[in-house]
Amino acid sequence: MKKRINLCMSVFLLTLVPFMAFAQSKLVVNTLQEESTINKHIYGHFAEHLGRNIYGGIWVGPDSSVPNEDGYRLDVMQALIDLEIPNLRWPGGCFADEYHWTDGIGDPADRPKMVNTHWGGVTEDNSFGTHEFLNFVNKINTEAYITGNVGSGSVEEMSKWIEYINFDGVSPMAELRKKNGQEEPWNLTYWGVGNESWGCGGNMTPEYYANEYRRYATYARDYGGNKLYKIAGGANNWDLNWTEVLMKTIPLEMMDGLSLHYYTVTGSWENKGSATDFDKEEYLETLNKAAVMDDLIAKHSQIMDKYDPEKKVGLIIDEWGTWFKVEPGTNPGFLYQQNTMRDAHVAAITLNIFNKHADRVHMANLAQTVNVLQAIILTSEDDMILTPTYHVFDLYKPHKDAKLLPHFLATEKVVFGEQSIEALQVSTSKSEDGTINISIANVHPDKKIEIDVDLIGMNATKAEAAMVSAPQIDSYNTFEDKDVVKKEAFKDFKLNKNSLKVTAPANSVIMIQVK
């Protein structure tokens, strides 16, 4: 049956050749060929002790004049609940490898202070620690992903942290947790063994880290029925050798996930582009650098396939997103940047790529949640704005836990100067109830695009759609005007049983759901 459908699809695709002139674009979706499940954890987030992410972003403390519940900002908390984020990574990033968890428990007045050497050299008072994080995770109905300290910590320290969080019985760490007000264990699942151990996490060689991982992972115990999902600190960008050495050295049964970090840097690390001030060529440079994620995942997966053909170990992209120059006048160590419609397109392109590789990519975490890098939320005193990136995550909710569907796309290219990219960026999936989800980013800054969509195997009766769009590629939300870029209903499509005609406005991201 599957073979016949594939054959039909190939014959059908041949009929598309005339569309190659691109009077309009063509999208063919095979609604019968369900592939891997798109793990909802691909839509995860990351909150490091960095800048105003935790302090001022998530946590203001119970005595703050900013409206809060037990110290958590009400506005940010509600925005994260509404977004239904599947997981939140904490406490770093680079911060994780100099964080000593025992400094962040007990009476806040007695907690020792430390210097946050990586991020602005500010004093960290440890008022947001294990309890504050795990209780926050419960309040926003998400799952915690904690990264333990390998760089400056010890096996004993990490092992005791896990016992403190997860052991439901009589033990020194469980008693300490109870004394600090938490009777029940939190039953945490996701555990990272160090962060960027090739750099800020200890400047290790892959061989050295792989052995360290084996040692640390041995003492990262499962308690009761709770099984830890252990994630090894993975490669930076194109360091394929890191992945190769770890896959070769760490037994598959000791590792559930292997991470990978990739940031979209416009210009160079030394001279990054501005978050808001860019021309169309630079815009395409950013999008192309985001699209590199496809090849990057393919190459790392190829290596993982050699050692793990059954794809048991997940590739965990636990840091990704745009990294621009900080906003003028802000602390360079706080990594505060604005977020334009260009960031919305980066999010759409990247999430489409993660969906495409759902067989290997089991989790991902955008960097970062509030006020840092490609943030989904920005705050100022007691005010908050949702960024274009937030709205794309909101739009993409239907892809979570849906089955990936194969598609064929023929479209035109956007060209400015030396840069070019396909105007349409698409992902297609099928929800459990049979709804077909089609996300389309039209990244063309000035041209609306007509799309003929064929839905092979569909007899649709109903479709609805929403869109994130903006007047310009550099449009963004401000505290004075919060809805320049927002999510709204989209109506410019016509449904006819097994086909759709869609007109995608310039500079838009659309989600169409067909039933």
Q: Which stretch, 88-96, 175-183, 448-456, 491-499, contacts ligand AHR (CB under 6 A)?
A: 88-96
CB of 335 to ligand AHR, least distance (A): 6
Distance (Å, whole) CA 41 – CA 77: 19
Please, what is the minimum distance in Å from the beta carbon of residue 18 to ligand AHR?
47
Choice between 96 and 140, CB closer to ligand AHR: 96
Q: Where in 185-204 is the site for ligand AHR (CB under 6 A)?
A: 195-196
Residues annotated as catalytic (active site), given as ranges: 196, 319
Examine residue 51 and tell whether it contacts ligand AHR (CB under 6 A).
Answer: no
| Nearest CA-CA partner of 407 in 462, 349, 352 | 352
Question: Tokens 């985001």 — which residue?
Answer: 290
One of 291, 367, 440, 509 touching ligand AHR (CB under 6 A):
367
CA distances from 491 to 196, 204, 435, 478, 504 (A): 45, 54, 18, 27, 10
Question: Which one-letter amino acid corresponds to residue 328?
Answer: P
The DSSP string of 34-89 is ---B--GGGGEEE--SSTTSTBTTTB--TT-SS-EETTEEHHHHHHHHHHT-SEEE
Burial category of 259 from C-beta neighbours within 10 Å (exposed 0-12, middle 13-18, buried 19 and up)? buried
Cβ closest to ligand AHR, residue 201 vs residue 314: 201
| Of the candidate residues 57, 93, 148, 153, the single one contacting ligand AHR (CB under 6 A) | 93
Residue from 94, 217, 287, 296 touching ligand AHR (CB under 6 A): that is 94
Residues 416-455, mask of contacts with ligand AHR (x by CB under 6 A): ----------------------------------------
Q: How far is the CB of 344 from ligand AHR (least distance, A)?
A: 20
At its nearest, how many Å lie between ligand AHR and the CB of residue 196?
Answer: 5
Burial (0-12, 13-18, 19+ Cβ within 10 Å), 318: buried
* 48 forms part of the interface with ligand AHR (CB under 6 A): yes
**Which region among 243-251, 365-373, 379-387, 447-455 touches ligand AHR (by CB under 6 A)?**
365-373
CA-based angle 226:228:230, to the nearest 5? 175
> What is the dihedral sign for C-alpha 426, 430, 431, 433?
positive
Q: Give 94 or 449: the residue with its C-beta nearer to ligand AHR.
A: 94
Q: Is 497 exposed, middle or buried (0-12, 13-18, 19+ CB in 10 A)?
A: exposed
Site membership for ligand AHR, residue 319 (CB under 6 A): yes
Interface with ligand AHR (CB under 6 A): 48, 92-94, 195-196, 319, 367-368, 373
